[in-house]
């Protein structure tokens, strides 16, 4: 393509070269977004995570040790546990996620296994975007392909000690949540239905 201005003719044809640094930046951004795209493919999952994020209580309130108080009796302890789990459920979920991330960081082999599984899912997503995978005349849904990768990854996860890590995360999460829910005096925030009755009994 050429543009003429008077007697001068300027050739503006040719391809626009994108700098390699920009290409690498876009590629890195795509890879960083991959796990979120894989996990949040369902609108219900996106809505659930958004709701959990909105319901996170202030962390300064969550870790306020001045609110810790031993419950006076078993009945109060049971009600406190239920109220705390309901009030801080999003915070407890993030505690669970933090423990999982800690285990991944401290276990290179397990981190490699997770990265390999996500990489395989990424390759499948690219292939399905170009052309659907058909076996025996039947189109294989992407969700089933992800499931197959998960099954094939089980031996690798087993060798990486994923079972022990899972039990440790579940045990540590249950311990932390149980201690916090038992000792945190949620009544000071939400109030207690039993307090007026108990005060009246003490006055009598």
- CA separation for the pair 38, 54 (Å, rounded): 22
- CA separation for the pair 60, 74 (Å, rounded): 27
Q: Kindly list the averaged pLDDT for each block of 10 residues, start to end, along the chain of length 204.
A: 52 50 45 44 67 82 90 89 91 92 88 88 85 79 84 87 89 93 86 48 43
pTM score over 0.75 = no
Q: Where are the domains of the chain?
A: 72-188
The confidence score (pLDDT) of residue 198 equals: 42
The confidence score (pLDDT) of residue 57 equals: 87
The confidence score (pLDDT) of residue 188 equals: 80
Q: Is 80 exposed, middle or buried (0-12, 13-18, 19+ CB in 10 A)?
A: buried
The confidence score (pLDDT) of residue 25 equals: 47
The confidence score (pLDDT) of residue 30 equals: 41
The confidence score (pLDDT) of residue 173 equals: 93
Among 137, 138, 142, smallest CA distance to 124 is for 142
- CA separation for the pair 83, 95 (Å, rounded): 18
The confidence score (pLDDT) of residue 107 equals: 86
CB 177: neighbour CB atoms within 10 A? 20
The confidence score (pLDDT) of residue 181 equals: 92
Strand, coil or helix: 99 = helix
């Amino acid at each position: 393509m050429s543009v003429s201005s008077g007697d001068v003719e300027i050739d503006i044809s040719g391809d626009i070269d994108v700098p390699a640094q920009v290409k690498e930046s876009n590629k890195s951004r795509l890879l960083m977004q991959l796990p979120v795209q894989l996990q949040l493919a369902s609108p219900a999952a996106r809505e659930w995570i958004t709701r959990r994020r909105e319901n996170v209580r202030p962390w300064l309130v969550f870790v306020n040790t001045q609110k810790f108080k031993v419950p006076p009796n078993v009945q109060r302890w049971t009600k406190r546990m239920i109220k705390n789990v309901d009030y801080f459920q999003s915070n407890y979920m993030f505690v669970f996620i933090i423990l999982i991330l800690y285990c991944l960081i401290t276990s290179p082999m397990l981190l490699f296994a997770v990265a390999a599984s996500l990489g395989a899912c990424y390759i499948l997503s690219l292939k399905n975007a170009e052309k659907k995978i058909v076996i025996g005349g039947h189109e294989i849904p992407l969700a089933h392909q992800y499931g197959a990768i998960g099954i094939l990854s089980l031996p690798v996860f087993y060798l990486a000690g994923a079972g022990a890590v899972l039990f440790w995360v579940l045990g540590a999460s249950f311990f932390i949540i149980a201690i916090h829910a038992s000792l945190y005096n949620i009544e000071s925030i939400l109030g207690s239905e039993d307090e007026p009755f108990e005060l009246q009994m003490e006055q009598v």
